Amino acid sequence: MNRLIRAWTWRAVQVLKRASVVTRRRWTATDVWVQDHHAGVGFTVLLVFCTAVGLLLRFRMDQAIELAKQFAPVCTIVSFAIGAVFGWIKWVRKRRKARLATAGAARP
């Protein structure tokens, strides 16, 4: 019984290690892809955000306005969100530039 538990434990650890490696590789690949396509990703995020805000105001304007009066002006919230997206794009561009500089320096 003790050997069986050890075997199961060893197998579980191996599966977790493999899953960790696969997850890290996929995360890195996704990160590189986003860095290479930052303009399209940023545009898509803004398009989805503006569509969601438009639909919210179209179908729940009264409720949104009441909530905005209670918590903060809608324009402030939208400007913070758009500023966050642009800040994120700037950060991704900076990381991409650093990655490409490192890759260029590594080549002979």
Contact 35, 95 (CB under 8 A): yes
Q: For residues 40 and 28, what is the distance between their CA atoms, to the nearest angstrom?
A: 19
Convert the pLDDT of each residue in 2-33 to its tens digit: 888 888 888 988 999 999 999 999 998 988 88
What's the alpha-carbon Rg for the chain, to the nearest Å?
23
End-to-end CA distance of the chain: 57
Report the pLDDT value the prediction gives residue 48, as an integer from 0 to 100: 93
What are the residue boundaries of the structural domains of the chain, listed by start?
Answer: 1-34, 37-108
Report the pLDDT value the prediction gives residue 107, as an integer from 0 to 100: 64
Contact 42, 84 (CB under 8 A): no
pTM score, two decimals? 0.51
Q: For residues 89 and 39, what is the distance between their CA atoms, to the nearest angstrom?
A: 8
Convert the pLDDT of each residue in 63-102 to its tens digit: 877 877 777 767 777 888 889 989 988 898 898 888 888 8
